[in-house]
Amino acid sequence: MVKKLILFFISVILLIISGCSSNKLEASEKDVEITISAAASLQDALNDIKPLFEEKNPHIKINFNFGASGALQQQISQGAPVDLFFSAAEDKFDKLIEDGLIDQKQGIDLVGNELVLVIPVNSNTGIESFEDLIKAGQISIGTPESVPAGQYAKETLQNLHLWADVEGKIVYAKDVRQVLTYVETNNVDAGIVYKTDALISLKVKMVATAKENSHAPIIYPIGVIKNSRNPIEAKRFYEFLQNESSIDIFEKYGFKGLK
């Protein structure tokens, strides 16, 4: 009888422990949403990666906020509720590190890109190189102060000693995708975008690639925001973006792995 009572109490205790463990697990795996502010040029690759991550982490929902890296950096500086920042330029990322909003140990340079000159696919302007831009009526680049691709474009044109000749023809865009749209719709004769953007469009033709020494290195750093409301989940996505399957997707869209 005593043995039966002991076994009974042991069973009850085990059930209680099991229930507590289950509750703890449920608490740690509660449904959460995380926000990733990412450069516009990352849109297609990240939209492909998102379902792969959510399939393995069904309690985490990913929300993307795409835009120009400079504008996104300012939003974060002003307190926007963001969990991860994926920038198209190191200087915008470094500013958040300097301001104490990203821990340098929680950041990594993940992928790289190239800068290309594009024209409408049906263009007959004879533009086949950066030097030919003097023939163009209008040229679009991102606003250099806030759009990294625009900053790299301006550097390239300055290094080729073309800026003074074409500055009056420039149509500035809010991000690199808007540049692409202007070229696709024949609103401009040419545009300077990332290779990854040019590859996704059937309405533009790449005619030249900027030499690497004509502009600052095109590096995409990513990091967890210090005041993230969901730092554990943010770190999980941060690490997922570094795995082989994610890098393969980035490379499929024309990004260059840096590892």
Question: What residues contact residue 9 under an 8 Å CB cut-off, 6+ apart?
Answer: none
- The Cα–Cα gap between 42 and 221 comes to 12
Can you say whether the dihedral through the CA atoms of 188, 189, 191, 197 is positive or negative?
Answer: positive
Query: Residue 181: CB partners within 8 Å, gap ≥ 6?
Result: none
Other CB atoms within 10 A of residue 24 CB: 10
Residue 242: both structure tokens together: 């570094």
Is 176 marked within a binding site?
Answer: yes
Query: What secondary structure does DSSP assign to 188-254, as a single string?
Result: SSEEEEEHHHHHT-SSEEEEEE--GGGS---EEEEEEETT-S-HHHHHHHHHHTTSHHHHHHHHHTT
129 is in an annotated binding site: no
Q: Which among 43, 37, 73 has a CA at the least distance from the CA of 194? A: 43
* C-alpha to C-alpha distance for 144 and 247, rounded to whole angstroms: 28
238 appears as a binding residue in the annotation: no
Q: What tokens were used for 179? A: 């540049």
Residue list, annotated binding site for molybdate: 41, 69, 149, 176, 194
Q: Residues comprising the binding site? A: 41, 69, 149, 176, 194
